[in-house]
Structure 1
């Protein structure tokens, strides 16, 4: 049984969401997924029912924006939750590695993934900065401590997440550290999240997340 659930908030991005879900279901043992529709009117519900009937779909009657992440987090029934967007996904093996890091460090609250952007899999500048270890690395954590993270590329322990509202990507619970773990190898073994060309800056290249645990611990 999986120890991590992938949670996604989306709105009127049916095609992108379908691609993300297909990527997440590559290989054996795909993770459970919860999707919040955020009042989508573009056929998202029909697509999920036809192609991914096992995905838990929360039909929100209106667009709640980033607050929808609170709903999908609450609906997950696993010890850990991994956030993705409708234009990003986790590389094969990435979530298993994130779970191992979280299991091994009881006070670790969050693993920030290494994020690769576009078909060339360019390292996201935020990931590069976190890996520089500006805050140092605690002896009991798998990587440098971080204060922020990409909300589409983070895996959190459920007790920490349950007491934190996900209205912003900088939300964290006092006393629970976040870490950027040591560099993981490239696709397909690293916890990596991949993002497609969508949104920001006229739809930039997509990203895939692979975790360098960026650790968030107490």
Structure 2
């Protein structure tokens, strides 16, 4: 899984054409169709990852099962259970390290970050969410990372979904952004701790539309200086 996933993927991907990216907030961009023709290869990669680290409905600290099923790849994986929200180097279901983050996925994530104005992004974790009909993700902040200076990079695959984009406070107005297969969202800087979520997927999907939606979010978790110096976070 660490080999070449995509055919003819250049080492340095060019930014999207002018006008294709849409700012949605300070330091936040919607990049429609950024993944382009690589969507099918990424979906196949997700299936390969899930054979090593199966999707599961994790439990919140309040003992509620999340409606989306999840897995991870990369040096670290995001988990939740009775002990709280955190990152772990091992999969609690298998007690093995998470599958490695494929180099081509990292290249795409770094290219998306660069297109949104974050050229130095180096992801350590990739959380993969699987949304079935009726699944949702309530408004929340991504704040379990030690390094909040790096952006979040999010890829959408499969069924379209409505992205809920709020503000720095939970009761701020919420914009609704339709995400299609191949779209990317990047947020950081002033928007890094903005509330966001996914509206419930409709029980019925349109003709020819996939039943499931997959979302990959790439994160830098530790301060790079700590990691590069052999830190254990």
Smaller-chain TM-score bracket: under 0.3
Bigger Cα Rg = 2
More helix by share: 1
TM-score by length of 1: 0.25
More strand by share: 2
TM-score by length of 2: 0.24
